[in-house]
């Protein structure tokens, strides 16, 4: 299954020499896996011998040794020690480019500058990738494929050093994106840190829910609160390190929230109904601005098929879609609690929707609906 992917073949990596990775958690070990698969020499270091052994055992690289001469050092440690480790690595490996993958970029830079650290060979970066599960054991080589990888160069950065970090991102299948550290931090405050807090605050209200009310929860609230399952330790650090941009968005959001609550409290005040409608309408416009999946899906038609909850049924379904020469672009499988079957919502090219629907119906499948808009 691997003959036709965007991951470069072994030996074709842009990254050469030894790459030293400090911190063998989810991100560090995932980078190690991907580089090792490309034949790059990966030297792993971690303050936890157990975590290091795990990452090595799982194939993320070898343990770092005295005498390693890395061309590139990747710092993948928790946010609160990122600046310290960057400073130490720059001192220990003066010939190497040092990058980090922390999700906040301005604060570590400010600390390093304040300490007078020579930052000529430091380039901050941030791959927008992660999982709800952490640790070396959750690492996967494909974690970065197709994801943005922010690279924060500055006036001091040499083109050669920049090429090393961007080469790393490209080797991992990510899309390098140059941004200013402060601009990066304002952006992630809006699209990552505040959504996390909002999901957490909303889910936090469920504890006070009247008895039985959560039985009425549907897919909407589940999606809205999904990321509330994230780990507290990491998020306290991330939010603390990006407090100012996060607080700016929170304050604006609190104002919006108070306005809509006031409009609902005084429905007959002039403009109240309109204020509520505008809130929903601005939300419509907002989601439309998000790139990627939302927009992409709109290009596809959806065929919803009922499938029995027994082994082999999805196999038959997809086998027959293959026979019909229908390519499945996306798929959502929904189980009805207690039911013996599920609904498979299949996204296909609009030109193939009718072929899929008619062909499947002719083969005895029950089509719940087809939407082609």
Footprint of a second copy on 275-314 (CB under 8 A) = 276-277, 279-294, 296, 304-314
Under rule CB under 8 A, residue 4 binds a second copy: yes
Interface size with a second copy, residues (CB under 8 A): 154
Cβ proximity to a second copy: between 113 and 335 the closer is: 335
- Residues 11/38, Cβ–Cβ less than 8 Å: yes
Selected binder of a second copy within 196, 354, 355, 359 (CB under 8 A): 196
Gap between the Cα atoms of 314 and 354, Å rounded: 20
Gap between the Cα atoms of 166 and 164, Å rounded: 6
Selected binder of a second copy within 327, 350, 351, 358 (CB under 8 A): 327
Under rule CB under 8 A, residue 78 binds a second copy: no
If we measure between CA atoms, which residue out of 2, 19, 327, 366 comes closest to residue 168?
19
Under rule CB under 8 A, residue 114 binds a second copy: no
**At its nearest, how many Å lie between a second copy and the CB of residue 56?**
17
- Cβ neighbourhood burial of 175 (10 Å; 0-12, 13-18, 19+): middle
Gap between the Cα atoms of 159 and 147, Å rounded: 23
For tokens 């991951």, the residue is 7
Report CA-CA distances (Å) from 306 to 45, 206, 263, 300, 352.
Answer: 50, 33, 43, 19, 19
Selected binder of a second copy within 5, 16, 48, 158 (CB under 8 A): 5
The pattern of x and - marking residues 155 through 194 that bind a second copy according to CB under 8 A reads ------------------x-x-x-x---xx-xxx-xxx-x
Contacting a second copy within 39-58 (CB under 8 A)? none
Gap between the Cα atoms of 117 and 124, Å rounded: 14
Interacting stretch for a second copy, rule CB under 8 A, among 20-28, 67-75, 161-169, 205-213?
Answer: 205-213
Gap between the Cα atoms of 80 and 104, Å rounded: 10
Cβ proximity to a second copy: between 45 and 101 the closer is: 101
- Residues 114/91, Cβ–Cβ less than 8 Å: no
Under rule CB under 8 A, residue 222 binds a second copy: yes
Under rule CB under 8 A, residue 366 binds a second copy: yes
* Tokens at 27, concatenated: 């991100």
Interacting stretch for a second copy, rule CB under 8 A, among 94-102, 111-119, 152-160, 255-263?
Answer: 255-263
């Amino acid at each position: 299954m691997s003959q036709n992917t965007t991951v470069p073949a072994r030996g074709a990596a842009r990254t050469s020499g030894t790459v030293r990775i400090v911190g063998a958690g989810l991100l560090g070990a995932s980078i190690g896996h991907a580089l090792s698969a490309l034949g790059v020499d990966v030297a792993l270091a971690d303050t936890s011998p157990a975590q290091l052994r795990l990452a090595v055992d799982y194939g993320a690289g070898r343990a770092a040794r005295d005498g390693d001469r890395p061309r590139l050092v990747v710092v993948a440690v928790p946010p609160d020690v990122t600046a310290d480790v960057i400073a130490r690595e720059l001192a220990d490996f003066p010939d190497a480019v040092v990058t980090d993958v922390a999700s906040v970029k301005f604060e570590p830079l400010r600390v390093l500058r304040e300490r007078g650290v020579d930052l000529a060979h430091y380039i901050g970066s941030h791959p927008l990738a992660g999982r709800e599960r952490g640790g070396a054991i959750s690492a996967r080589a494909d974690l970065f494929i197709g994801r943005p990888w922010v690279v924060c160069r500055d006036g001091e950065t040499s083109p050669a050093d920049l090429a090393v970090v961007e080469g790393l991102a490209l080797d991992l299948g990510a899309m390098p994106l140059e941004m200013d550290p402060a601009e990066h931090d304002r952006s992630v405050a809006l699209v990552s840190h505040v959504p996390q807090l909002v999901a957490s605050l909303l889910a936090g209200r469920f504890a006070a829910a009247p008895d039985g009310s959560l039985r009425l929860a549907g897919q909407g609230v589940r999606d809205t609160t999904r990321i509330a399952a994230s780990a507290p330790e990491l998020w306290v650090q991330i939010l603390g390190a990006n407090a100012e941009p996060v607080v700016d968005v929170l304050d604006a959001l609190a104002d919006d929230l108070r306005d809509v609550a006031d409009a609902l409290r005084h429905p007959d005040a002039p403009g109240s109904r309109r204020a509520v409608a505008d809130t929903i309408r601005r939300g419509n416009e907002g989601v439309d601005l998000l790139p990627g999946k939302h927009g992409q899906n709109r290009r596809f038609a959806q065929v919803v098929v009922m499938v029995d909850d027994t082994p082999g049924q999805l196999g038959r379904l997809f086998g027959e879609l293959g026979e019909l020469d229908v390519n499945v672009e996306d798929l959502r499988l929904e189980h009805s609690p207690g039911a013996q079957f599920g609904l498979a919502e299949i996204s296909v090219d609009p030109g193939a929707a009718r072929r899929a629907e008619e062909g499947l119906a002719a083969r005895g499948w029950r089509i719940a609906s087809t939407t082609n808009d």
